[in-house]
């Protein structure tokens, strides 16, 4: 995708959603960090159902330590891999208390030193909590980057590097949110809804689906799907 097309790509996404935000619910940097650690292989809505009751009682690393691992497991038992994630949340809370004065650090290396926090998690926190212009790459961003031709890469790191190089101002701060939401609700994994995509003419995807399933069925002489 060329420079002018990239600018137009984000201009249109920004026009539809001027102020995109993460769909995780939190009230401070620590709760955001915990929510992102819990979100691996989970939907944001699934995480929110578990963290709503938890965050009503826990706002700081010390409060999480006071809660304890057993009680934490009870709160997050609906989360995938909740036993491992509970261990990581307790361990990262301990490290925050002992090494960072109970505060969530801003630097990438510091965040990645926390148990359960990889590069994507660290960059989500840097972007959402500290307004850093970084590009966390989850499955949605990876798919959209490759499918559209915006940022092709074999690994998340490859896609992140290309996004960092190519995304222009004034779109850099919110770019990863636009890509996540676009991948979650329009450029879906199994059936991209190209018929309602605002950037379809800019996209390099060769197998565009330009009609909704009901219309396609009618066109083939099949009974239309009921709404």
Residue numbers annotated as active site: 120, 138
Q: At what angle do helices 139-148 and 156-166 cross, to 10 degrees?
A: 60
Which candidate, 218, 147, 226, 215, places its Cα nearest to that of 179?
147
CA distance 39 to 134: 19
Q: How many whole angstroms separate alpha carbon 53 and alpha carbon 185? A: 27
Rounded-to-10 torsion of CA 91, 84, 111, 174 = -140
Structure tokens at 97: 């208390």
61 neighbors 30 (Cβ within 8 angstroms) = yes
């Amino acid at each position: 995708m060329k420079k002018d097309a990239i600018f137009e790509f984000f201009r249109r996404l920004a026009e539809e959603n001027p102020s995109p935000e993460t769909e995780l619910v939190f009230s401070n940097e620590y709760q955001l960090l915990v929510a992102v650690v819990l979100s691996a292989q989970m939907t944001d809505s699934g995480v929110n159902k578990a963290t709503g009751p938890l965050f009503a009682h826990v706002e700081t690393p010390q409060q999480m330590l006071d809660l304890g691992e057993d009680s934490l497991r009870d709160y997050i038992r609906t989360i995938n891999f909740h036993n491992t994630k509970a261990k990581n949340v307790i361990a990262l809370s301990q490290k925050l208390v002992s090494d960072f004065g109970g505060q969530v650090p801003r630097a990438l290396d510091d965040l990645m030193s926390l148990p359960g926090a990889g590069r994507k998690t660290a960059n989500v926190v840097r972007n959402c909590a500290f307004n850093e212009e970084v590009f966390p790459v989850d499955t949605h961003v990876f798919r959209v980057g490759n499918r559209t031709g915006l940022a092709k890469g074999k690994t998340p790191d490859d896609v992140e590097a290309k996004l960092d190089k190519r995304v222009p101002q004034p779109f850099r701060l919110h770019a990863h949110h636009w890509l996540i939401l676009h991948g979650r609700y329009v450029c879906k994994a199994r059936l991209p809804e190209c018929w309602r995509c605002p950037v379809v003419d800019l996209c390099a995807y060769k197998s565009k689906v330009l009609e909704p399933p009901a219309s396609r069925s009618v066109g083939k002489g099949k009974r239309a799907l009921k709404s």
